[in-house]
Amino acid sequence: MRTSRKGSVEMPAFVRQLVKETEKRVSSFFKGGRGGAAEGEQPGEGEKEEVMPSPYLDRPVLDKLTEEGCARWGLTYALGSMQGWRANMEDFHNCVPQLGGELADWSFFAVFDGHAGSTVAQYCSQHLLGHILTADGIGAEDNPEKVRGAIIEGFMQTDKHLHSAARREGWERGGTTVVAALISPYYIYFANCGDSRAMLCRSGQVCFSTEDHKPFSPLEKERIESAGGSVSLQRINGSLAVSRALGDFSYKGAENRTPCQQMVSPEPEVCVVERSPADEFLVLACDGVWDTISNEELCAFIHNRLRVCNELRDVCAQVIDLCLYKGSLDNISIILICFPGAPQLSADALHQEAELEDLLEAKVAEIYEELCSAGEEPDLLSVLTVLASTAIPGLPPGGGIQSKRNCIISAYYQQRDTHNPAVPNGLGSS
């Protein structure tokens, strides 16, 4: 069983050096030209016009927060989160692999993706589970209808108490989406409020995923317009990109309408899936993941990575890096929950992984030599560009060449050190 571990992981020094030296060009390569603040224009010296602060940084924050743990009945989990290109970290989470008392064989996990600040997401991460557990309906009998009602009531009570706290503390502007999973001995209860998403993998395939709540969805749009709002630019009143969330009280002031009839509803969509011995793993993630990778791609990628990674947090780290290099400009958070039937380490898979990395190193060396022979300076972007157009067999399904960029970057610096030993590469720097 994978062991419990908590802590934060520092990004390797050579990756920090890469970001310092070549971040804009490498980001442009992997993002297909998507800019964010890294490629944004700066105002001229003579301009007096006040400019809103950019929501993006000039370079991404690459440090990862990780956490691992397990439950006595065989569940293991890992969390990974990273600020990325966003100016602030607004994601929070809640991981409780074992609830207490008569619910000792139950687990709860949730991802909170804040917007317009992190306060609401942090508050909800601290209080949502408590409100769910105090609602009538959750007990050892595991009645799906009662549990479903308790989860909805827990969300509604959290939003109600949040509103009082927001008025008292003066932070009414922010909000948060929530995706949560309450796992009982017989069922998985999925609760989704917003555009974070949960996905269940069973027998190597996507078995279930939650539906995102977007303002342009027909039923969501109908509620928004009935509450006096509009949908433009795929956003509520041209501003908010989600139609369900906790908080966002400026969108919840329509008179003579219930909380669930407001422009932004705090009501989660709760789905119940009966557990199966074929269940392999469950993913909860914010839209910083889903903006860049599909359900099927992520299912295939994680399924493959579980066979070559000894620790679940390494799988989460690889997912985060993959999303970053596929163009995610958002905070990135993922919780990976593995059931007893999850793929295990495989000697054959490890051998194939080693062969793939040997092949990539050989390809990088070959490209480097070819560029040198042509009289070109083989910078990292040039090597990556040539490699991206080269057929590479055995790449991780769902990940492609972008999922092996650490191996490629390391191989590039090895070649550069061999050809230019006097050029410092900063591998020992912090």
Q: Quote the CA–CA distance of 210 and 189 in Å, as a whole number.
A: 11
Instruction: Give 104-116 pLDDT, tens digit per residue.
Output: 999 999 999 999 9
Count the Cβ atoms, other than its own, within 10 Å of residue 164: 9
Domain that holds residue 153: 66-338
Instruction: Give 259-280 pLDDT, tens digit per residue.
Output: 999 999 999 999 999 999 999 9
pLDDT for 278 = 98
Q: Quote the CA–CA distance of 93 and 80 in Å, as a whole number.
A: 10
Q: Which amino acid is at 268?
A: P
| Confidence band of 54 (pLDDT split at 50, 70, 90) | confident
Q: What 3 state SS string does the chain have?
A: CCCCEEEEECCCHHHHHHHHHHHHHHHHHHHCCCCHHHHCCCCCCCCCCCCCCCCEEEEEEEEEEEEEEECCCCCEEEEEEEEEEECCCCEEEEEECCCCHHHCCCEEEEEEEEECCCHHHHHHHHHHHHHHHHCCCCCCCCCHHHHHHHHHHHHHHHHHHHHHHHHHHCCCCCEEEEEEEEECCCEEEEEEECCCEEEEEECCEEEEECCCCCCCCHHHHHHHHHCCCCEECCEECCCECCCECEECHHHCCCCCCCHHHCCCECCCEEEEEECCCCEEEEEEECHHHHCCCCHHHHHHHHHHHCCCCCCHHHHHHHHHHHHHHCCCCCCEEEEEEECCCCCCCCHHHHHHHHHHHHHHHHHHHHHHHHHHHCCCCCCHHHHHHHHHCCCCCCCCCCCHHHHHHHHHHHHHHHHHHHHCCCCCCCCCCC
Answer whether 0.85 is exceeded by the pTM. Answer: yes
| 175 has pLDDT over 80 | yes
Q: Residue 59 falls within a domain, yes or no?
A: no
Q: Residue 7 falls within a domain, yes or no?
A: no
pLDDT for 366 = 96
* Ramachandran quadrant class, 279 (left: phi over 0; alpha: psi -120 to 50; beta: rest): beta
Rounded to an integer, the average pLDDT of 11-34 is 42
Q: Environment class of residue 208 by beta-carbon count within 10 Å: exposed (0-12), middle (13-18) or buried (19+)?
A: middle
Q: Residue 396 falls within a domain, yes or no?
A: no
| 49 has pLDDT over 80 | no
CATH number at residue 283: 3.60.40.10
Residues 74 and 319 sit within 8 Å (Cβ to Cβ): no
Instruction: Give 301-344 pLDDT, tens digit per residue.
Output: 999 999 999 999 999 999 999 999 999 999 999 999 999 999 99
Give me the chain's average pLDDT, please: 88
Q: Residue 95 falls within a domain, yes or no?
A: yes
Q: Residue 367 falls within a domain, yes or no?
A: no
Q: Residue 241 falls within a domain, yes or no?
A: yes
pLDDT for 391 = 93
Whole-angstrom CA distances from 131 to 46, 137, 187 are 54, 12, 20
Q: Residue 379 falls within a domain, yes or no?
A: no
Whole-angstrom CA distances from 294 to 206, 301, 388, 393 are 11, 11, 21, 22
Whole-angstrom CA distances from 276 to 101, 139, 146, 207, 341 are 24, 21, 21, 11, 9
| Confidence band of 25 (pLDDT split at 50, 70, 90) | very low
Instruction: Give 94-142 pLDDT, tens digit per residue.
Output: 999 999 999 999 999 999 999 999 999 999 999 999 999 999 889 989 9
| Confidence band of 420 (pLDDT split at 50, 70, 90) | confident
Whole-angstrom CA distances from 118 to 60, 162, 191, 306 are 18, 13, 21, 32
pLDDT for 21 = 41
| Confidence band of 20 (pLDDT split at 50, 70, 90) | very low
Domain count, the chain: 1
Q: Residue 415 falls within a domain, yes or no?
A: no
Rounded to an integer, the average pLDDT of 220-239 is 97
pLDDT for 423 = 57
